[in-house]
Structure 1
Amino acid sequence: MSTEDQAWPEPRASSLLVGQETAEATFLAACRSGKLPHAWLIAGPPGIGKASFAYRIARYALNGSIEGPAQDAGPSLFGDALPSSEGDSLTVDPDSIVFRQVAAGSHPDLLSVERGINERTKKERSEIVVEDARRVAGFLHKTASGSGWRVVVIDSVDEMNRNAANAILKILEEPPANALLLLVSHSPGRLLPTIRSRCRLLRLSPLGEADMDRLLAHYLPEETGENRLLLTRLSEGSIGGALALHAAGGMALYRDLVGLLAGLPDLEARKLHAFAGRFERAGNEDAFQTAMALLADWIARLARAKGLGQLPQPILAEEEPALRRLASLHSLDRWLELWEKVRHLTARTDAINLDRKQVVIGAFLALQGTG
């Protein structure tokens, strides 16, 4: 493995691909078919490597590995399966000029479209605006300097506002020759149907436990197998999510949450106040967000299991007795209501400066049935 992969890299600098071999074979088969769609919608849950995969394709194209012109996918191709291939790879040598230029964001034939900086506030925008999208047309109509291809990566297309989406749609309807557009999407169902219909869907899957363990052992070599399994299950196959959880102290937070949840419907006030009190201090905003997200996910797992008429699957062995008991504590509607309440409280806490300790206590009292 190259030095670029010795820490969690930016997507454009990542050379390690694990668990997405089917998607890779699909793209390679399209390359060999001589009818490569000009636009690809790379879809799947957050944190599974979609942006890294997009830049992997970009390097492959810019390295001169694709022969022949791109083709308009057309509405009838959306979601169609392509034949798979074996024995090939999109890998580009990490020591090559193309790899280094893409990693540095300096390749002249690559344009990355992301949320920009608001010149007035000097802060990152909450969406991709039309000015960002309009750069794409001018870029794609220029003459390529290297491989003959010009590549655009939009990360993520979900973040485009309507004007930006319409600007991209015009390009998808009449793409220039040898243009390759790679649209990263966490929620393709929310996109304009006309955008979806102009792209070849390439769906990436959450990573399995074996692939997650391999990646976590690579990026977090100091962690035990037990901790790697806990991160895998908490992140539901998202390597990005697992590494973010690790950085935020998510494993310890989850174990403490389980300790409190295991007592429901009884709550030990001293332990609850001690747990909630840690989020009062300045600088603990991220820990608060992580803890509340873990609590919401725990409720969601219980609600899903109840809706299916099943017993919830524990992530930690010590959860099982409590989960069996709590499954009958509330109705499905009540669990869904609690999930919404926790998410709503979390979103509003910083927006209107709520007391984080009281928000956590209120969430647990609601779970108990007294809040």
Structure 2
Amino acid sequence: MSEETLLPDQEPGSPHPRAVFELFGHHAAEAELADSLTHGRSHHAWLMTGPKGIGKATLAYRFARRLLGARPDPSGLLASDPDDPICRKIAQGAHPDLRTATRLDPEKSEIKRDVTIGAIRDLTQFFTMTADGRDGARVGIIDCADDMSVSAANALLKTLEEPPPGATLILLSHTPGRLLPTLRSRCRRLDLVSLSDADMAQALPDLDAATRSLAAGRPGRAKALMALQAAKLYATLSRHLSGLPRAPLDEALILAEASADADRFQLLFDMMEDWLARAGRAGVGLPIEEVEPGESVVLARLAAGSGCDGPARAWTHVRSVRTKAEALNLDRGLATLDALRAIRAELAPIQ
């Protein structure tokens, strides 16, 4: 893979989390991890949960540096000196006592749909080796555990049930309900919550209002959104959907063209699903956070005209289109147009 290619555990617009030393927010979670280190009772397996882009991987690597003996830095409870040799090795992906399992196949060096059983076996084999550093500490990070195949998850169970001395496993999960109950029960869970407005302003002081709203307290997600020009894309989507039932075709074609890029395809479908979820809330009188000014009125109008379950039916159809396009490698532009037609059919059919 080329150096420019994003790894599966890396957000667009951001460096790899192993090279990120600054953490914004998550004070309680960091304090809990720091306390486990201070009192020598760190659990052998941690499950860090929270939406994508919230900072799970940043916190995981911050914890891993200290587990592996990096020199502390006074800037935070788990902060480490970036110039420490341990930190430099981790940032370069070259520390012998740290191993990751992602959708990158360790045998073929290509990105797969799942975290494969080969990636998990590589990780479990790593834990049988003698540690290079102090105290026999070794750390494994699975990012993201939701992506493990069933066989991969089962292969991990033995290591969780009988952890080798000095081993720490950190599982990152966007939707922990997807994990096997037997995996969840063997981990100490740490839930990360969205950053406050103050923490987001400190992390990204120049963030525009639309991107801030779309990011929903997730700094990593905000950086990815900026890299993908999400505010501009959302404005086009909002104008198109606000015009229902006679939405402009030109804007639909612009969205279809933009979705030819894989990252923008994912982003656009995220936006459509979020728009429909907010339409459902607006339709039953619940408050919503507007991305575009005046949006709540449009959402409530469309939802009211389609019945209470109109947005839910449209959401299900959009998710089905997305899943099928990904599984069968269908044309992304045509999938986008299909999803937009489904929204119109459910919310504002032309009489």
* TM-score, normalised with respect to structure 2: 0.85
Alpha-carbon spacing, 1:282–1:147, altered in 2? closer, same or farther (3 Å): same
2:9 aligns with none
Q: Distance in 1 between matches of 2:36 and 2:44?
A: 11
| SS of structure 2 residue aligned to 1:41 | strand
Stretches (4+) displaced over 6 A: none
Would the aligned equivalents of 1:279 and 1:285 in 2 still touch at CA under 8 Å?
A: no
* TM-score, normalised with respect to structure 1: 0.80
Q: Distance in 2 between matches of 1:343 and 1:64?
A: 44
Deviations 1:262-317 (A, max 9, x none): 334x425xxx211122245488334454333312211111213445x424442222
1:42 to 42, 48, 71: 48
Deviations 1:25-55 (A, max 9, x none): 0011122233221111111111111111111
Q: For the aligned residues, what is the CA RMSD?
A: 2.7
2:118 to 110, 131, 139: 131
Would the aligned equivalents of 1:312 and 1:327 in 2 still touch at CA under 8 Å?
A: no
Q: Does residue 155 of the first structure (1) align with residue 143 of the second (2)?
A: yes
Q: Distance in 1 between matches of 2:202 and 2:258?
A: 36
Alpha-carbon spacing, 1:166–1:288, altered in 2? closer, same or farther (3 Å): closer
Compute the displacement of 1:345 (Å): 2.5
2:250 aligns with 274
1:26 aligns with 32
Q: Does residue 175 of the first structure (1) align with residue 154 of the second (2)?
A: no
Aligned-residue identity in percent:
37
Deviations 1:120-155 (A, max 9, x none): 7x7411112222212233322322222221111111
Alpha-carbon spacing, 1:250–1:167, altered in 2? closer, same or farther (3 Å): same
Deviations 1:323-351 (A, max 9, x none): 34334222221210011122222343463
Q: Does residue 355 of the first structure (1) align with residue 334 of the second (2)?
A: yes
1:216 aligns with 204
1:291 aligns with 268
Runs of 5+ in structure 1 lacking a partner? 1-6, 67-85, 218-222
Would the aligned equivalents of 1:303 and 1:336 in 2 still touch at CA under 8 Å?
A: yes
Runs of 5+ in structure 2 lacking a partner? 1-12
Would the aligned equivalents of 1:63 and 1:92 in 2 still touch at CA under 8 Å?
A: no
2:104 aligns with 116
With 137-146 and 249-258 compared, the bigger mean Cα shift is at 137-146
1:92 to 76, 80, 91: 80
Q: Distance in 1 between matches of 2:305 and 2:45?
A: 49
Q: Distance in 2 between matches of 1:192 and 1:348?
A: 24
Q: Does residue 245 of the first structure (1) align with residue 251 of the second (2)?
A: no
Aligned residues: 332
Alpha-carbon spacing, 1:65–1:26, altered in 2? closer, same or farther (3 Å): farther
